[in-house]
Chain A
């Protein structure tokens, strides 16, 4: 009779230990993935700040040539402010996308002024801003793939059982113009 008790005690000890191990594993895993999303956002934030600092220089340079584009300058200033003012990440990214399209219009206007286009300062600013735009796009891609991994982990079994009511993270939306279809298989 007593060996049955011992057997049961043994089995339940092993089961509890195994459960504790899996619990620790998933607790840490979800934490790591959630931290990665924060880190990915920090990458985006760095680029947004850099852009925030560069845009006034560009606007000043162009203003010397195209004073009458008041409306566009205002649009740029407004989107620039909203981009870093806070609010949700989606709102910040939306402002950033608007700034991108406003800057495109600005560069299009600059095409009409050969001396502006030829100025070293303008060329440098244009290069820097284009570089930052690319980096924002890449940082957003990393953000979204981190979110995907997090969401997959907390919505599939067994991660779901350990997610303790955590909700899915929203993705950052990709502007229509940047969508390029691709399917990757290994």
Chain B
């Protein structure tokens, strides 16, 4: 049963990634169109092929370098030297058990306990772990957390989740720019210059406004929808790899007691993390992650 479900998961993740890239392309294309029509209506026809090219480049860049962007945005550094030998061994051991090549290992300097995996496939994957996690967890607990991240890699969750992170990041920036230009009146002034197109322009402004408001909500919904099933499945697969669900359960318990949710990472990548990096585990409102109590309960029931 276990194997079957993770093959399904791989297929599902590939499908979702393609669908995501496609819908993000469409949204971006619509945003560019609205933007150009507002600011320079004469350039619309020229802008179309250029924007298609740029969007294609953007999708390609997100696919190839999304993991580097994510790792750089949290200041992760390679786990080198003897003090991390034990961490590298644990990662390598669990990757052997999962039948994937050993991923690269990174360290994030933070007292909070957290971890994440990123990359596009098991051959190009990385795991990052906070110094707080290294310090607080014992061997069995650390194995549980690493097993969870290794499962994300094996199930190809990392591809979809990294694409969401990088693409959501851009959607957030774009809509932010549009909203700001309204706030500073830049568009209103231009509208004054072209009174006769007023009717169409207000429509376009309206569409732009709707998109700008919609973009973060849509991406938020995507984040919301993707996390829970994946997290529960990764917890279960971790237990299957380590043969010891209690290790992960006990790690989650420690995190619930000690984490304050103050890592202050970009909201666009928070769904990659093992537990929500920006919110205390006690704060269930607006959670992108499944409640920790529920995860512990399911692990203990195994």
Query: Interface of A with B (CB < 8 Å)?
Result: 36, 40, 43, 124, 127-128, 131, 134-135, 137-139, 141-142, 145-146, 149, 180, 182-186
**Which of B89, B90, B233 has the most C-beta atoms of chain A within 10 angstroms of its own C-beta?**
B89
In the assembled complex, which residues on chain B have CB atoms less than 8 Å from the CB atom of A128?
A: 85
Q: A134-B89, A135-B92 are in contact. Are A182 and B302 (CB under 8 A)?
A: yes
Task: Name 15 A/B residue pairs within 8 A (Cβ), A-sorted.
Answer: A43-B96, A131-B85, A134-B90, A135-B89, A138-B94, A138-B96, A138-B97, A138-B241, A141-B243, A142-B97, A182-B239, A182-B302, A184-B236, A185-B236, A186-B2
In chain B, positions 60-113 with a C-beta closer than 8 Å to chain A are 82, 85-86, 89-90, 92-94, 96-99
- Is B245 part of the contact surface with A, judged by Cβ < 8 Å? yes
In the assembled complex, which residues on chain A have CB atoms less than 8 Å from the CB atom of B96?
A: 43, 135, 138-139, 142
> Would you call A184 and B89 a contact (CB within 8 A)?
no
> Would you call B93 and A186 a contact (CB within 8 A)?
no
> Would you call A40 and B99 a contact (CB within 8 A)?
yes
Q: Give Cα distance in the complex from A149 to B3, angstroms.
A: 9
In the assembled complex, which residues on chain A have CB atoms less than 8 Å from the CB atom of B92?
A: 135
1/0 contact string of B213-248 vs chain A (CB within 8 Å): 000000000000000000001001001110111000
Which listed residue, B1, B86, B233, B245, touches A131 by the CB 8 Å rule? B86
Which listed residue, A131, A134, A142, A183, touches B98 by the CB 8 Å rule? A142
Q: Give Cα distance in the complex from A139 to B243, angstroms.
A: 13
In the assembled complex, which residues on chain A have CB atoms less than 8 Å from the CB atom of B93?
A: 131, 134-135, 137-138
Q: Give Cα distance in the complex from A145 to B99, angstroms.
A: 10
Which listed residue, B99, B233, B243, touches A146 by the CB 8 Å rule? B99
Q: Give Cα distance in the complex from A127 to B302, angstroms.
A: 32
In the assembled complex, which residues on chain B have CB atoms less than 8 Å from the CB atom of A137?
A: 93
Closest residue of chain B to A141 (Cβ to Cβ) is B97
> Would you call A186 and B99 a contact (CB within 8 A)?
no
> Would you call A186 and B236 a contact (CB within 8 A)?
yes
In the assembled complex, which residues on chain A have CB atoms less than 8 Å from the CB atom of B89?
A: 131, 134-135
> Would you call B240 and A184 a contact (CB within 8 A)?
yes
Q: Give Cα distance in the complex from A180 to B92, angstroms.
A: 21
> Would you call B98 and A127 a contact (CB within 8 A)?
no
Closest residue of chain B to A152 (Cβ to Cβ) is B3
B150 to chain A, nearest CB (A): 10
In the assembled complex, which residues on chain A have CB atoms less than 8 Å from the CB atom of B5?
A: 186
Given contacts A135-B92, A184-B2, 8 further A-B contacts (CB under 8 A): A134-B93, A137-B93, A138-B93, A139-B96, A180-B244, A182-B244, A186-B1, A186-B233
Q: Give Cα distance in the complex from A182 to B82, angstroms.
A: 33
In the assembled complex, which residues on chain B have CB atoms less than 8 Å from the CB atom of A127?
A: 85-86
Closest residue of chain B to A46 (Cβ to Cβ) is B96
> Would you call B302 and A184 a contact (CB within 8 A)?
yes
